[in-house]
Amino acid sequence: MTRILILLAIACVLFPSVILLSAYGDGLASEILPPAMIGNKNVTLSINSSPFLIDNTHVGTQINFVLQDASNQEPFQEVTLAVSAFKDNQALFGHVFMSDSGNFLFNVEPDNSSSKISISEQGGIFPGVLGHSGSYQIKGPVFASGGLYKFKINVLTMGSYDNQISKSYDAAISIPETKNYTINDNDDGKQTVTIIAYYDQIGNFQYDSNKKEMSFSMPFNWNQDNLKQVTVVHQELKIPRTFTNFIVTKYNAHVNGVELPDNAVSIDDYSSDEYRIVHLILYKKEVSDIAVKQGSKPEMDFTLSPSNETAFPITQYTRNAQYKVSLSWDPPKIISGQTTRFSFQILDPYLVNKTVNSIDYDFSIIAGKNGLMFHKSGATNSNDTPNTVDVNFPANYSGPITIGFENLNGNSFADSEISGTVSKPRIVPEFPAGSVIVTIAIFSLAIIVPRLARR
């Protein structure tokens, strides 16, 4: 017993503990963790995952770790990493990986038929015997779905397999996941909204047709350590252009009841002809602000609804960035069968609110994307007063429209398109005929019935 104790004491003296350091990273498909000093080396760990999206054709994911010198981006030789992977606070796998080159490549093959995860080294004639290529195959029920995958990475050796290191990294990879939701709107009928969640998996999607509000939830850890790591939380909503109630100039978006600032909600009408894409992008500042205001929910509850306000003027760069178009219309809600006045200015893209000299323009209103409804060619005013165009919308059309500016100053590349919606007029009876008839009937009965009863 005494000998064992002496041996233990000698072992403690010979192998003193090393300083334990940790660094954090989080939430993107690719990132380089902040550099940290290990000995006299400035070391970073870069993480990448591919493919970027997990969809129905997904067959596997590749994860790449490189422990590199921050000064010259060269990987360290003979690196050993102890990697543990987690999702939704559940451990997926843990294994020690070795690479002679310092470059690690994990080929993850999702296999839901088995509950076991097998990890095998690949490369060379005798993988793992005549050197370590750093290439591993991981097979099992992992990476079959998108979401936030967290890794605890301990660097055990670096530079040589005999060079002991103890450096831990907390990293995470977000694998975006696309989900389609079919909703039923009172006015626009069945619509399919697609949400691409770039941070973690979302769920509990609901649509309230009366309130015109979409809501969904995403797990989120609001503790300070996690808030330090999060760089961005991004949700992308693809809203069909036929969903006219949601094709508006401004949205009200909330997270856990906290209203998001206008700059956190961006509208993309360019990328798709069929969809309007709404991005909810929360950077570190917005997430920190919400953290202060929100309660203690372990999630982010998103809501999105069309705003009653209009975000006029709508400003947009032309395709060739030569001009900036500033557009507004009155009344703010375009109604079929009524005249709407469009006011616009063509601005200098580099100066604030500076209109350009008089230039030629083509102004068009297109039903949907193809059916020309209105066209006007002209020249803009030479002073700062807005140009106005009155458009009488046909009574038989309601739905999405595209307001197009083309051939600005004769340049076919100087064009811009802005989406809008023509709504059906709400028919409210000016004289409540129904209630008058009911009232007359009740009074008549009140007079006639007693008289009949007397007889």
Q: Note whether 245 binds another protein by CB under 8 A.
A: no
Q: What angle do CA 17, 20, 26 make, to 5 degrees?
A: 155
Q: Which of the residues 363 through 422 are near another protein (CB under 8 A)?
A: none
Instruction: List the 265-268 sheet strands across, edge first.
Output: 177-185, 189-197, 232-240, 275-283, 265-268
Tell me, by CB under 8 A, how many residues bind another protein.
25
In the list 29, 32, 70, 82, the residue contacting another protein (rule: CB under 8 A) is: 82
The encoded tokens of residue 324 equal 């900036």
CB-nearer residue toward another protein: 55 or 88 = 88
Q: For the chain, what's the residue count?
A: 455
| Beta carbons within 8 Å of 272's beta carbon, 6+ residues apart | 238
| C-alpha to C-alpha distance for 267 and 346, rounded to whole angstroms | 21
| C-alpha to C-alpha distance for 190 and 441, rounded to whole angstroms | 41
Q: Which of the residues 125 through 154 are near another protein (CB under 8 A)?
A: 126, 128-130, 152, 154
In the list 58, 64, 77, 161, the residue contacting another protein (rule: CB under 8 A) is: 161
CB-nearer residue toward another protein: 78 or 415 = 78
Question: Smallest distance from the beta carbon of 27 to another protein, in angstroms?
Answer: 21
List, in sequence order, every beta strand (DSSP E) within 187-323: 189-197, 203-208, 213-219, 232-240, 251-255, 258-259, 265-268, 275-283, 299-306, 314-317
Question: Smallest distance from the beta carbon of 155 to another protein, in angstroms?
Answer: 10
Q: Which of the residues 164 through 203 are near another protein (CB under 8 A)?
A: 164, 166, 168
CB-nearer residue toward another protein: 70 or 156 = 156
Q: Where are the alpha helices (DSSP H) in 238-371?
A: 284-293
The sign of the dihedral angle between the CA atoms of 99, 104, 105, 106 is positive
In the list 35, 36, 48, 95, the residue contacting another protein (rule: CB under 8 A) is: 95
In the list 5, 13, 15, 90, the residue contacting another protein (rule: CB under 8 A) is: 15
Q: Note whether 94 binds another protein by CB under 8 A.
A: yes
CB-nearer residue toward another protein: 15 or 431 = 15
CB-nearer residue toward another protein: 18 or 351 = 18
With CB under 8 A as the contact rule, which of the stretches 14-22, 101-109, 206-214, 393-401 interacts with another protein?
A: 14-22
Instruction: List the 213-219 sheet strands across, edge first.
Output: 203-208, 213-219, 299-306, 251-255, 258-259
| C-alpha to C-alpha distance for 112 and 280, rounded to whole angstroms | 32
List, in sequence order, every beta strand (DSSP E) within 244-398: 251-255, 258-259, 265-268, 275-283, 299-306, 314-317, 324-330, 334-335, 339-347, 360-367, 371-379, 387-392
Question: Smallest distance from the beta carbon of 281 to another protein, in angstroms?
Answer: 33
Question: Smallest distance from the beta carbon of 159 to another protein, in angstroms?
Answer: 14
Question: Smallest distance from the beta carbon of 126 to another protein, in angstroms?
Answer: 7
| C-alpha to C-alpha distance for 291 and 300, rounded to whole angstroms | 10
With CB under 8 A as the contact rule, which of the stretches 94-102, 346-354, 423-431, 435-443 interacts with another protein?
A: 94-102
CB-nearer residue toward another protein: 22 or 122 = 22
Q: What are the CB-based long-range contacts (under 8 Å, 24+) for 442-450? A: none
Question: Smallest distance from the beta carbon of 163 to another protein, in angstroms?
Answer: 10
Which positions from 19 to 58 touch another protein by CB under 8 A, shown as an x/- string? -x-x------------------------------------
Q: Note whether 162 binds another protein by CB under 8 A.
A: yes
CB-nearer residue toward another protein: 13 or 447 = 13
Q: Are strands 103-110 and 135-140 parallel, antiparallel or unpaired?
A: parallel
Residue 405 pairs in a beta bridge with: 363, 416
Q: Note whether 210 binds another protein by CB under 8 A.
A: no
In the list 47, 54, 79, 83, the residue contacting another protein (rule: CB under 8 A) is: 83
CB-nearer residue toward another protein: 53 or 156 = 156
Question: Smallest distance from the beta carbon of 420 to another protein, in angstroms?
Answer: 55
| C-alpha to C-alpha distance for 162 and 131, rounded to whole angstroms | 14
Q: Note whether 428 binds another protein by CB under 8 A.
A: no
Q: Note whether 84 binds another protein by CB under 8 A.
A: yes
| C-alpha to C-alpha distance for 97 and 119, rounded to whole angstroms | 10
| C-alpha to C-alpha distance for 360 and 343, rounded to whole angstroms | 16
Contact residues: another protein, CB under 8 A: 15, 17-18, 20, 22, 80, 82-84, 94-96, 126, 128-130, 152, 154, 156-157, 161-162, 164, 166, 168
